[in-house]
Amino acid sequence: MEVLKIPEFKDFGTPIEIIKKFGGKQKFNEAIKELEKEIYSA
């Protein structure tokens, strides 16, 4: 969640707005875990 507070993400909205775009906190966390899995498996 802290990553959403960096200035580069402000163009996408507030942290709450960004999470809502993913369909809620659970879906956001699932997307982050999937992204981490893809990044670190390479």
∠ CA 34-14-9 to the nearest 5 degrees? 60
Find tokens 């960004």 and name the residue.
18
Selection from 35, 10, 2, 5 nearest residue 27 by Cα: 35
- Residue 2: the pLDDT is 86
For residue 20 the two structure tokens come to: 């809502």
Please name the residues in contact with 6: beta carbons below 8 A apart, sequence gap of 6 or more: none
Residue whose structure tokens are 């966390």: 29
Q: What is the pLDDT along the chain (42 residues), one digit of tens a residue?
A: 788 989 999 999 999 999 999 999 999 999 999 999 999 996
| pLDDT at position 3 | 85
pTM of the entire predicted model: 0.78
